[in-house]
């Protein structure tokens, strides 16, 4: 995955691991417990989106895959990941596939993969959970915690009245469990996620109205930059690219500060390559410190 919203989602998961694992485990009908990330490199050719060890009774591994485009064959991939994770960790594994938009669906995503043997008789039945984000309610994501709340804007319910849904989401960010700096980052995250489903001009108009009270927010500044960029040649897309880089950089700085402390002066500001920021974000859990993390090519 290499689109701006991929980095946003990975950052949300890293920063709100407990909320994500609790939500996914509940959707799969599994017990909830403290969770910790696991290495996603299962072999030289297999890398899962996310793996978590859930210390429930009994303990298990939760495997998460995010998809934004539709294609056949995903259930077989989930089975491969599940078997590899079982061999690597030695705990039962359950896969959860999160489909982010309607175009991500496919006819074989039924939640069950039946594998026949060479003789045609049933050999193996693999079960997994499918979460179709657009079929969920706005309230379900808002109640799941700040780390999942931005997904509320991608639901069919939100599509019916996007401004009302964004306003409910913004109001959720004013609750006591969301500090102001996190509220601004999450509001910006939802703005970028909207790009998966809605017309850009419509989204900008809504977010500009709803963020006027937070004129120092990254979202508001991003909208202003985009508006200025429209005065230039459309092909340059300067405002959009700059805004997305700034959004990714800001969230990375916030999460990195929690783990390593304040980053070296101007170190993050010097990184203008969005793809490099994505690679850095993917190493956040494994890096030993800022020097190690920022050494990511």
Q: Collapse the DSSP code of 88 into the 3-class scheme (helix H, G, I; strand E, B; otherwise coil) and give the result.
A: helix
Tokens matching residue 137: 């309610």
Weakly modelled stretches of the chain, pLDDT under 70: 1-4, 44, 211-245, 265-267
Closest to 94 (Cα-Cα) out of 105, 83, 104: 83
Span(s) in the chain for CATH 3.40.1350: 17-135
The angle that helices 274-282 and 4-15 make with each other, rounded to 10 degrees, is: 30
Distance from C-alpha of 173 to C-alpha of 170, rounded to nearest angstrom: 5
CA angle, 278 then 236 then 251, to 5° = 25
User: How far is the C-alpha of 160 from the C-alpha of 2, rounded, in Å?
Assistant: 28
Can you give the pLDDT at residue 237?
46
pTM value surpassing 0.85:
no
Contact 107, 140 (CB under 8 A): no
Q: What does the pLDDT read at residue 235?
A: 45
CATH number assigned to the domain with residue range 17-135, chosen from the 4 options 3.40.1350, 3.30.1380, 3.40.1130, 1.10.287: 3.40.1350
Q: Show the tokens assigned to 295.
A: 């050494």
Longest Cα–Cα distance of the chain, Å, equals: 67
Angle between helices 180-193 and 200-210 (to 10 degrees): 160
Predicted local distance difference test score (pLDDT) of residue 121: 92
What pLDDT is stored for residue 2 in this prediction? 44
Contact in structure between 255 and 147 (CB atoms under 8 Å): no
Identify the pLDDT of residue 4: 57
Considering Cα of 109, then 110, then 112, then 114, what sign does the dihedral take? negative
pLDDT the model gives residue 220: 47
Residue 186: closest CA among 141, 243, 251, 245: 251
**Structure confidence by residue, pLDDT tens digits, 115-132:** 999 999 989 999 999 999
Query: Which tens digits make up the pLDDT trace of 250-270?
Result: 777 777 777 777 777 566 777
- Residue 241: the pLDDT is 55
Q: Is residue 133 exposed (0-12), middle (13-18) or buried (19+ Cβ within 10 Å)?
A: buried
Crossing angle (nearest 10°) for helices 218-229 and 238-260: 160
- d(CA 269, CA 79) in angstroms, rounded, equals 41
* Model pLDDT, residue 222: 56
């Amino acid at each position: 995955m290499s689109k701006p919203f991929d980095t946003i989602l990975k950052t949300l998961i890293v920063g709100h691991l407990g909320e994500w694992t609790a939500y996914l485990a509940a959707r799969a009908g599994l017990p909830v417990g403290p969770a910790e990330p696991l290495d996603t490199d299962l072999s030289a050719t297999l890398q899962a989106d996310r793996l978590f060890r859930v210390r429930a009774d009994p303990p298990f591994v939760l495997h998460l895959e995010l998809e934004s485009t539709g294609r056949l064959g995903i259930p077989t991939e989930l089975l491969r990941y599940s078997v590899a994770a079982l061999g690597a960790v030695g705990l039962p594994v359950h896969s959860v596939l999160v489909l982010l938009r309607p175009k991500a669906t496919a006819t074989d995503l039924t939640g069950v993969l039946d594998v026949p043997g060479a003789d045609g008789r049933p050999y193996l039945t693999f079960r997994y959970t499918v979460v179709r984000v657009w079929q969920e309610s706005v309230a379900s994501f808002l109640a799941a915690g700040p780390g999942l709340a931005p997904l509320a804007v991608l639901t069919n319910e939100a599509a019916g009245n996007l401004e009302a849904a964004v306003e409910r989401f913004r109001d959720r960010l004013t609750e006591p469990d969301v500090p102001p700096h996190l509220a601004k980052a999450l509001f910006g995250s939802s703005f970028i996620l909207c790009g998966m489903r809605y017309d850009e001009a419509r989204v900008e108009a809504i977010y500009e109205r709803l963020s006027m009270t937070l004129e120092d927010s990254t979202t508001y500044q991003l909208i202003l930059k985009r508006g200025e960029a429209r005065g230039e040649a459309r092909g340059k897309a300067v405002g959009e690219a700059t805004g997305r880089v700034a959004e990714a950089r800001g969230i990375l700085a916030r999460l990195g500060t929690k783990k390593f402390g304040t980053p070296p002066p101007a170190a993050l500001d010097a990184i203008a390559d969005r793809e490099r920021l994505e690679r850095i974000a993917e190493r956040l859990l494994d890096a030993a410190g800022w020097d190690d993390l920022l050494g990511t090519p």
